[in-house]
Chains A and B, each alone.
Chain A
Amino acid sequence: DVKVTQSSRYLVKRTGEKVFLECVQDMDHENMFWYRQDPGLGLRLIYFSYDVKMKEKGDIPEGYSVSREKKERFSLILESASTNQTSMYLCASSLPQGLGAEAFFGQGTRLTVV
């Protein structure tokens, strides 16, 4: 069974902390994505990676960075957490763009910044 695993289901961090969210996939997918999900706003893309060491900014990259040193792992970093980064974070992976290339999602990390 294919799997995308996020390191934590729930996290509580303090304002100003550096926060790492980890995502691992076991499907040998080239593409990986980080979204945040907020009520009424749907899914908003933070960053994506189309291959190892490659990364591109999404729609809302400010305050975030990413790392992809290995194909299976895509990390999201909050450089200095702020309360407006309290949200549900979703990681996804997929095969390269092509017909039928659906995204596979992790279970989500609910981050609260206090």
Chain B
Amino acid sequence: GNSVTQMEGPVTLSEEAFLTINCTYTATGYPSLFWYVQYPGEGLQLLLKATKADDKGSNKGFEATYRKETTSFHLEKGSVQVSDSAVYFCALRGGSYIPTFGRGTSLIVHP
């Protein structure tokens, strides 16, 4: 079946540092890939997505590239802010009704 593996947190960074959160997946066919963000006490909201190999999703300074050869979709941001502190979920949707989520990575950004 489908699965998503993302790096465990928490990831702790200083403001303006570079961020990478790793995500790899297992799926049959050609799934769509997503990053969601969850701020404290809230539900998940879509951050970015990519629907085919070599697509780059981007939003609010975050980027991720769909790499089929390495089955990866790593999230990056060049300069994080305190307001980026949240939990980040990698997800895929392949040949079934059900989105599959990773376990989430907590990001803490210090001033």
Q: Please state if B89 and A33 are interface contacts (CB–CB under 8 Å).
A: no
Residues of A within 8 A of B44 (CB): 43, 90, 92, 103, 105
**For B93, what are the chain A residues with a Cβ–Cβ distance below 8 Å?**
97, 101-102
The 4 A-B pairs with the shortest beta carbon distances in the complex, nearest first, are A42-B103, A105-B43, A105-B44, A99-B51
Please report the total number of A residues contacting B with Cβ < 8 Å: 28
Number of interface residues of B (CB under 8 A): 24
A100 CB to closest chain B CB (Å) equals: 5
| Cβ < 8 Å to A, chain B residues 11-55 | 32, 34, 36, 41-46, 49, 51-52
Which chain A residues have a beta carbon within 8 Å of chain B's beta carbons?
4, 6, 31, 33, 40-43, 45, 48, 50, 56, 58, 90, 92, 94, 96-97, 99-108
CA–CA, A96 and B99, complex, Å = 11
Question: Is B102 within 8 A of A42, CB to CB?
Answer: yes
A-B contact pairs, 11 of them (CB 8 A): A4-B43, A42-B89, A42-B102, A58-B98, A92-B99, A97-B93, A99-B51, A102-B46, A102-B93, A103-B99, A108-B43
